[in-house]
A and B are shown apart, each in its own frame.
Chain A
Amino acid sequence: SQTIHQWPATLVQPVGSPLSLECTVEGTSNPNLYWYRQAAGRGLQLLFYSVGIGQISSEVPQNLSASRPQDRQFILSSKKLLLSDSGFYLCAWMGGGGREYTEAFFGQGTRLTVV
């Protein structure tokens, strides 16, 4: 069965420090991978998605970047965090390769607090 791992679960970082959040998927190949951010009590904002290794699509201009160095690994990064980067970050995977019937499954999330 497929599983998705996201870590760390919580993170407190000072303003100006770098960030690296990692997400890995097991039990599937060539998944579509997604990073979302959720502000407190709000909806999920799509930040980045990837349909293959090295392929990154950015949805909103921001202080963050994403990379996909391996088929089932998706990394969210920042060189210098801002206070506004605080939030709940969620990684999700969905069957790729143009499959018609597929759903998205989420990791447990990382709560990032920038202080």
Chain B
Amino acid sequence: GQQLNQSPQSMFIQEGEDVSMNCTSSSIFNTWLWYKQDPGEGPVLLIALYKAGELTSNGRLTAQFGITRKDSFLNISASIPSDVGIYFCAGKGAQKLVFGQGTRLTINP
């Protein structure tokens, strides 16, 4: 099945550092979504992007919908221990919602 290319696959950072991850696709999407998943739980929506070029913030999180509609990035500023988890991008086409492989974030205190 179709998937998005999400990078990096994992990140090991110090508390307080900024984080950046991105997703690319060969297909155009009309919506990009970013999720965070804690162990044993379902993913929780962080940010939704609906328009090409859109830049949206949610607290320390900032995400952008690429102009070509084939990519998106997520930045986390001043990371804290509770940011640990797996982050997924998702692209929505007409009906389907496909996900990247995830970025596992580990924070050293």
Interfacial residues, chain A to chain B (CB-CB below 8 A): 6, 32, 34, 36, 41-46, 49, 51, 57, 59-60, 88, 90, 92, 94, 100-109, 111
Per CB-CB distance, the 7 closest pairs between chain A and chain B, nearest first, are: A106-B42, A43-B101, A44-B99, A59-B1, A103-B48, A109-B42, A43-B102
Q: Is the CB of A101 within 8 A of B50?
A: yes
Interface-lining segment among B56-64, B74-82, B90-98: B90-98
B88, B92, B95: which contacts A43 (Cβ < 8 A)?
Answer: B88
Q: Smallest CB-CB separation from A45: which chain B residue? A: B1
- A90: shortest Cβ distance to chain B, in Å? 5
Given A104-B97, A108-B42, 19 more contacts at CB 8 Å?
A: A32-B95, A34-B97, A36-B99, A42-B101, A43-B6, A43-B101, A43-B102, A44-B43, A46-B96, A46-B98, A49-B96, A57-B96, A59-B96, A90-B42, A92-B42, A101-B48, A101-B50, A106-B42, A108-B41
| A-side interface mostly | strand
Q: Smallest CB-CB separation from A46: which chain B residue? A: B1
The size of the chain B interface, using a CB distance under 8 A, is 27
Interfacial residues, chain B to chain A (CB-CB below 8 A): 1, 3, 6, 30-31, 33, 35, 40-45, 48, 50, 88, 90, 92, 95-102, 104
Residues of chain B contacted by A88 (CB below 8 angstroms) = 40
- A61: shortest Cβ distance to chain B, in Å? 10
- A53: shortest Cβ distance to chain B, in Å? 15
Residues of chain A contacted by B96 (CB below 8 angstroms) = 46, 49, 57, 59
Q: Smallest CB-CB separation from B4: which chain A residue? A: A43
Q: Smallest CB-CB separation from A109: which chain B residue? A: B42
- B1: shortest Cβ distance to chain A, in Å? 4
